[in-house]
Structures are given as C-alpha cells and as structure tokens.
Chain A
Amino acid sequence: MSVQDYPIVSVRDLSKHYPLRSWWGGKASVFRAVEGVSFDIRPGETLGLVGESGSGKSTIGRAVTMLNPPTSGTIAFEGTDLAKLSAGAMRKMRARIQTVFQDPYAALNPRMSAGDYVAEAFKLHRRSMRGPERREAVAALFQRVGLDPRFMGRYPHQFSGGQRQRICIARAIALKPSFIVADEPIAALDVSIQAQVVNLLQDLQDEMGLSYLFISHDLRMVRYLCHRVAVLWRGRIVELAEVDALYADPRHPYTRRLLAAVPVPHPAEERARLAARDLAGHDQPPDGPLTEVAPGHWVAMPGGSAG
C-alpha cells in the first residue's frame, strides 16, 4: 500500500504542561513537557519520533491517543477532533487507535491467559460476537502474529519477551485499527528478536494499510523503518523531514549532534568515527519557528531563517 497524501492523524499546536508546586507558597510554575508540536501522519505511513530522555516523545504518544489528553492543541483523527467526542464516541474511536508499549510484560495481565487478553478487545468492542466465533478470531490473530494458537491458554510468564510483544500486537490489531502508536516497541527485546518484531510491524502495515507513530531512541532502526522523522528537543520539534533527507542532510545542530553520536557496527568505520569525533559544541541549540528549508524539510531556526 502506498503512502497517501492526506493525513489520517493531524496534530496541531499540541502542548502538555505539568504544574510544579512550589515549596513555601511561592509562585507556582509549569513544566512544559511538550510545547507547540504539530505534525501529520498519512495513511500507511510510519512517522518516527526521536529525541533523548525527557524530550517529550512518550508524552506526545500518550496525548495523541488521548490516554493522557493534552493541555492544549488539537488532535484530529480521520478528520474528527478527538477532544470534541463524547465519552461513548471516544470509546468507539479507541478501537481504531491502538498502542504498543515497550514492556509487554507490564502491559499484560499476569492472571489472564494470552487468549483471553486478546479476546478482551472483542468483548469490549464487539459485544455481539459469540464465544466460538471469538475463539476463532483470536486463533486467527495468533496465527497472524506468528504465535501457535495452541498457546492461547498459556499465561504471560510462560512466553518469551518476543512472544509477549506479539501477544500485545495481536490485541492491538484485533479491531482492525488504522493507527498504532508504537512506543519503544523493540527496546526491551533481544537483538535477535528485534528484527522479528520489526518485520511483523512492516508486514501488518503492508496488509492493513496501518499508520504508525514509531517512538524510538534507536536511530538506526528509525532510519530503516520510518518514512518521515521528527526530532524532538525539550518538548519541541526542531526538525522534521523525509527520512533520507534527514539522515543525509540534517540541518539543525541538535539533529547533527544526535546522528553523529550513533555508533556504526563496522570496526574500521567506527574507529575512524571515534577518532574524528568532535565532542565540543554542547551549547544550547538554536530554537525558533519551524521553517521549510526544502520541500517537506522543516527546521527550527531563530527568526525563521535557515542558516
């Protein structure tokens, strides 16, 4: 499925602030975890969200799914402003917007069998579905994500880390969503298992036309998997571009510093990179409104001028 031009998700001016209580009744201030973030995600597209700890990546992921609604800004999903939905309408909408988290063990209920966990999606959203039909649907989902349906009665601790993530993915796709927020979905997995899960996510995207918001600190996997990438720094997007343009021609000093820090798994290249590395330049990167410096390539520059 090709990447369409119109957005499935449209985020405008998203901010998330947390009040900071002061000690002796002084003036309370706010922590701006996310500030004025805007982006679109097209059908069938994977948008990567990168940045370091505290940059606001996960906050954005939880705001976009309304698990932790934003302080201000709008999130439109297939043209509907999520903030304007009634509780009931939002519940229906949740079937179309799903999340896969970093730690599948924490997401699963230790006392619920894997099959029941996946079936729960149908129990909540497809109430008319009967038991045998539900069982069949769950078995098909197990098959689809590469799990043996005979393991439906097993409990989370009886699975490996990679298998647990597959269970979470099975539940996420059960209701045929069109958008999945994947928040560090491979970070907790062994290297030999990461490729299995990334391939599965790609296959599902091809088959179902899914859109992903892929939140990750793994800059090599982001380069491999994503169509476009947004770089966050302290809650703001400092650069957003097509993946090839971003990695080949990073414009923002912070993006450059981030990409320059990624080790290369080739001994001679990596030794040369370590030897040549310039560790200076830890000044505050410039900040300012996003400016389009090339078609589809946006960079935050002071005064809006591209340096």
Chain B
Amino acid sequence: MKKPLLVVRDLAVAFDTDGGAVHAVNGVSYTLHEGETLGIVGESGSGKSVHVLAMLGLIPRPPGRITGGQVLFEGRDLLALKERELRKIRGGAIGFVFQDPMSSLNPGMTVAAQIVEPLRIHLGLDARAARARARELLDLVRIPNAASRLDQYPHEFSGGQRQRVMIAIGLSCRPKLLIADEATTALDVTVQAEIVALVQELKRELGMAIIWITHDLGVVAGISDTVQVMYAGRILERGPVDDIFADPRNAYTLGLLRSLPDLSGGRAGRRRLHQIEGAPPDMRHLPPGDPFAPRNAFATPRCRTEMPPLAQAPGAAPGHLVAAWYDLPKLLAAEAAR
C-alpha cells in the first residue's frame, strides 16, 4: 500500500451571510495516497470545490470560516500553517488548476513571467534557468512554437491553450498533488480529451496524486482510482471506481448514474430519462439527518432525523464506504421483483 499523502479529518467550513450561516462543508474526512487519482463528483453546493479551496487557504475570511478539522499534507496540518508557509506549499508541492483560465491568469503579465514566478519562488531557479524550464513546460503541455509564445499575453492564447498554460503552471514545480477543479468543463470536448490524456501521461511520468473535481461522470470513469460522491457538504459514498459504478450503495449515486441517457439501441427505443426529483437543499436551512433524504424515494424515517456515518458498505469491495441507513441492493432487488 502506498503512503498517505493527504489526510482530511472532519473538515467543516461555513460562510456568514445576511440570511444566516451557510454550512458549505460539514465534516469531510478522507485519505489520499501517493500517486492516487481521486475523482470527486457533486453538484453546486456539494462542497467539492469549497473544501479544496479551504485546505489551500484560498477562501476569503470573512465571510468564510473553517469551523473545524485538520488537513494533513505529508504530516503537516495545512490549516495550522501561517499564510507565508502555506504559500510555499501552494503552487509548489501542491499544484492546482481551476475552471476559468482567464480569471486565474494575470492579463497584464506575459505567460513567461507567470510560469517563471513559481519556479523562482519554489525551486529557487535563476532567471535564465527558470525561463528555460518555462519553455520546456509549454512544450510539455503541447503549445506549438513554445519559444516564440513565451512573451505573449494570455489574451493571445485560445481558451484551450490558456487552460494548458494553467496546467503548465500547476505542474511547474513537479507537485506531489495536483488539484484540478472543473479544469476541462469550459473546454471543447476534443480539447478536453487532449488535456485528460496529457494529465494522465504526466501522472505516469511524475507519479503525482490527483484530485479531479468534476460533474462529468465520463471523465471520472476513465481517470479515477477512487471516486467520492459529495452532496450538501458531505461525502455520501466513496470507493474504488469500478465498484462505485457497478455497485452504488447510496441512492444519490444511483440517481446520478441512472440519469445518464441510455444510448443502447436506436432512437426509436429510447426510454424516458430517469430524473432525481426536487432540487439541492438550501445550504442555510439544511434538513436534519441525511441531506438527500427529501429527494430520496428509498429514504427511511431514520434518514430524516439522523445523519448516517460513512462506513464500509456490507458485502462491497474493501474501501467502498457509504453513508446510508437503507440497504440499497436489497431495495433494488425488491424493486426489480415488483
């Protein structure tokens, strides 16, 4: 078994608003091992993005507050570090790529300057070495004619190329962990395919761990070792990717998988899409108990009053954890028998 790289324990984050506190992350715990790719799936308000921003010290405080927990990266608690120390890790041992490259890149700085900066800060390279490395990085992410494009500004790059530049910056210091939050969502599907392939290749080369946050179950299926399903600031299910897709144990995971269009057979045989009724909860007024219970046809009375713990799913692969008071396989068998 590989060594744990990142250990998140009981992380909780809230935002103070005029309408009361928004409980965005409500006790998230998991371990990521060296070289592991974790796909995190969830919708708006699931806490999937906020919890990584919180661990990187990137949520504005106020209104944000970390109300509890620990985030151990190579044994050091990121939440206890001073901003100055955190900055050494962020962009260094932990690289990150967010959705919108236009707002992450500085429009007034050349691409070279933005790649060179972390190299000089984190790796202590001199100007000439850093520039040479920046060129290599643009080659690595397959920007054509890298040498001549170093001194261009972000607006001179296409959307896909800007995202590649962000990935180059994210990878520049050979991170042990790359966090990608909807990194390909805004891109065309052919560009997304290239970037996913590129990250896979770099992962093999550099041996880094990846947290890939997305709502695209297709991308998650292909690149993840482990999948984690989040809802209303909690982990509802987590486990090996094949097991999560083949044997989901939480009704929300099942709902997401079932809502994918069934494309077997031709147009004439199409069945109505399975839909999850209702809408995600108001994070200011979370229901007591399991937050998905109000939308869950399988919910038991206990689901409405008490949050189930995230625990090994009975009869599932080792490490397949679920938070549910109900036994989904049994309920599905009963449903099929009817």
A interface residues (Cβ-Cβ under 8 A, vs B): 52-53, 160-163, 190-196, 198-199, 202, 217, 219-221, 223-225, 227, 242-244, 247, 257-258, 260-271, 273-274, 277, 279
6 residue pairs A–B, Cβ–Cβ below 8 Å: A53-B159, A195-B276, A263-B193, A264-B222, A267-B242, A274-B197
Q: Is the interface of A mostly helix, strand, loop or mixed?
A: helix
Tell which of A162, A217, A270 has the most Cβ of chain B within 10 Å.
A270
In the bound assembly, the distance between CA atoms of A217 and B216 in angstroms comes to 13
Tell which of A52, A162, A190, A202 has the most Cβ of chain B within 10 Å.
A190
Nearest-CB distance from A103 to chain B (Å)? 14
In the bound assembly, the distance between CA atoms of A220 and B270 in angstroms comes to 13
The residue in chain A whose Cβ has the minimal distance to the Cβ of B185 is: A187
In the bound assembly, the distance between CA atoms of A272 and B215 in angstroms comes to 21
In the bound assembly, the distance between CA atoms of A283 and B101 in angstroms comes to 26
Total A-B Cβ pairs within 8 A: 119
Q: A261, B256: Cβ atoms under 8 Å?
A: no
Q: B217, A265: Cβ atoms under 8 Å?
A: yes
Q: B272, A267: Cβ atoms under 8 Å?
A: no
Q: A195, B274: Cβ atoms under 8 Å?
A: yes
- Whether B2 sits at the interface, judged by CB under 8 Å, is no
* Further 7 A-B residue pairs, CB within 8 A, beyond A199-B275, A263-B222: A199-B272, A223-B261, A224-B273, A225-B261, A263-B193, A267-B224, A274-B200
- Whether B280 sits at the interface, judged by CB under 8 Å, is yes
In the bound assembly, the distance between CA atoms of A217 and B190 in angstroms comes to 11
Q: B279, A162: Cβ atoms under 8 Å?
A: yes
Q: B280, A160: Cβ atoms under 8 Å?
A: yes
Residues of A near B153 (CB, < 8 A) are: none
Residues of B near A261 (CB, < 8 A) are: 189-190, 192-193
Nearest-CB distance from A259 to chain B (Å)? 9
Q: A227, B256: Cβ atoms under 8 Å?
A: no
Q: A262, B189: Cβ atoms under 8 Å?
A: yes
B interface residues (Cβ-Cβ under 8 A, vs A): 43-44, 159, 188-194, 196-197, 200, 215-224, 241-242, 245, 255-257, 259-263, 266-267, 270, 272-277, 279-280
Nearest-CB distance from A79 to chain B (Å)? 27
Q: B189, A219: Cβ atoms under 8 Å?
A: yes
Residues of B near A162 (CB, < 8 A) are: 279
Given contacts A271-B222, A277-B197, contact A52 B189 (CB under 8 A): yes
In the bound assembly, the distance between CA atoms of A243 and B170 in angstroms comes to 40
Residues of B near A270 (CB, < 8 A) are: 218, 221-222
The residue in chain B whose Cβ has the minimal distance to the Cβ of A227 is: B267
In the bound assembly, the distance between CA atoms of A257 and B188 in angstroms comes to 12
Residues of B near A225 (CB, < 8 A) are: 261
The residue in chain B whose Cβ has the minimal distance to the Cβ of A218 is: B189
In the bound assembly, the distance between CA atoms of A277 and B194 in angstroms comes to 10
In the bound assembly, the distance between CA atoms of A263 and B223 in angstroms comes to 10
Q: A274, B222: Cβ atoms under 8 Å?
A: yes
Residues of B near A269 (CB, < 8 A) are: 221
Residues of A near B241 (CB, < 8 A) are: 267
Given contacts A244-B266, A273-B222, contact A195 B190 (CB under 8 A): no
Nearest-CB distance from A155 to chain B (Å)? 15
Q: B267, A243: Cβ atoms under 8 Å?
A: yes
Tell which of B159, B190, B200, B270 has the most Cβ of chain A within 10 Å.
B190
Q: B221, A265: Cβ atoms under 8 Å?
A: yes
Residues of A near B221 (CB, < 8 A) are: 263-267, 269-271
Residues of A near B219 (CB, < 8 A) are: 263
Given contacts A220-B260, A223-B261, A274-B197, contact A196 B222 (CB under 8 A): no
In the bound assembly, the distance between CA atoms of A51 and B194 in angstroms comes to 17
In the bound assembly, the distance between CA atoms of A225 and B266 in angstroms comes to 11
Q: B159, A277: Cβ atoms under 8 Å?
A: no
In the bound assembly, the distance between CA atoms of A225 and B267 in angstroms comes to 8
Given contacts A223-B261, A274-B197, A274-B200, contact A52 B190 (CB under 8 A): yes
Q: A221, B275: Cβ atoms under 8 Å?
A: no
Nearest-CB distance from A255 to chain B (Å)? 11
Instruction: Name A279's contact: one of B192, B194, B224, B242 (CB within 8 Å).
Output: B194
Q: A262, B43: Cβ atoms under 8 Å?
A: no
Q: B245, A265: Cβ atoms under 8 Å?
A: yes
In the bound assembly, the distance between CA atoms of A269 and B96 in angstroms comes to 28
Tell which of A225, A263, A264 has the most Cβ of chain B within 10 Å.
A263
Given contacts A262-B189, A263-B219, contact A195 B275 (CB under 8 A): yes
In the bound assembly, the distance between CA atoms of A196 and B272 in angstroms comes to 10
Instruction: Name B259's contact: one of A195, A264, A266 (CB within 8 Å).
Output: A195
Residues of A near B192 (CB, < 8 A) are: 261, 263
In the bound assembly, the distance between CA atoms of A262 and B193 in angstroms comes to 8
Instruction: Name A190's contact: one of B215, B262, B263 (CB within 8 Å).
Output: B215
Residues of A near B255 (CB, < 8 A) are: 192
Residues of A near B190 (CB, < 8 A) are: 52, 257-258, 261
In the bound assembly, the distance between CA atoms of A263 and B159 in angstroms comes to 20
Residues of B near A260 (CB, < 8 A) are: 193
In the bound assembly, the distance between CA atoms of A51 and B273 in angstroms comes to 24
Instruction: Name B189's contact: one of A191, A198, A258 (CB within 8 Å).
Output: A258
Nearest-CB distance from B83 to chain A (Å)? 33
In the bound assembly, the distance between CA atoms of A53 and B191 in angstroms comes to 11
Tell which of B196, B241, B255, B260 has the most Cβ of chain A within 10 Å.
B260
